[in-house]
Amino acid sequence: MQQIAIPPEDEISKTLQIIENKEHDPNHLVKLLQEIQSELGYVPENAQRLIARKMNTPMSQIYGILSFYNFFRLFPPGRHRVTVCLGTACYVKGSRNILKEITSRYELEAGQTTSDRRFSLDIVRCVGCCAIGPVMTVDDKVYGRMKPEKVKTVLREHR
Ligand code: FES
């Protein structure tokens, strides 16, 4: 999946469009943030500030929501979405070591994007391929029976 970067001014105008159509009710913040992420690929800080102002809500409350739910992204998505499954079946087969290899090799944590915007990394909890765990995915492709030493080869396929 190839992601296209959205200029910051477009992020603002898209955020405004989404906010304009909503009730200014803090109880709907999660849904609103989800809509923004679905439109922009993440929830930029500019959007957070706009929401805080328009909905008369403290930034700390917005940040609290964004950090509580691990599906929210605070960074722009990379060209390729990498996930590591930490569901039980994969975890017991060593998926933590796959995650550790990616985080140390590419210097990124789950929820982040590499500085060259090549990869975003997320943790998932079962992709339905438990029999071939530990599993990682890149975009829509599933890589089973992963080992830390195979990570470099897999990621090299995705420029
Ligand atoms: S637990 Fe990893 S695919 Fe099911």
pTM score, two decimals? 0.73
pLDDT for the residue numbered 26: 67
From residue 68, alpha-carbon distances to 20, 32, 65, 121 in Å are 25, 15, 5, 17
pLDDT for the residue numbered 54: 85
Per-residue tokens: 34:
């989800």
* pLDDT 10s digits, 45-68: 988 998 888 888 899 999 999 988
Locate all alpha helices (DSSP H) within 1-156, ordered by sequence.
8-20, 29-40, 45-54, 59-68, 88-92, 95-106, 151-156
Q: For the purposes of burial, counting CB atoms within 10 Å of the CB of 131, is it exposed (0-12), middle (13-18) or buried (19 or more)?
A: exposed
Q: Which residues of the chain have pLDDT under 50?
A: 1-4
pLDDT for the residue numbered 4: 45
Q: What's the CA gap between 98 and 83, in Å, rounded?
A: 10
pLDDT for the residue numbered 2: 40
> Which of ligand 1's atoms lies nearest the C-alpha of 87?
1
Determine the residue of 127, 137, 141, 143 to mutate for testing ligand 1's pocket, defined as the one with the most ligand atoms within 8 A of the Cβ atom. 127
With a Cβ cut-off of 6 Å, ligand 1 is lined by 85, 87-90, 126-130, 133, 135
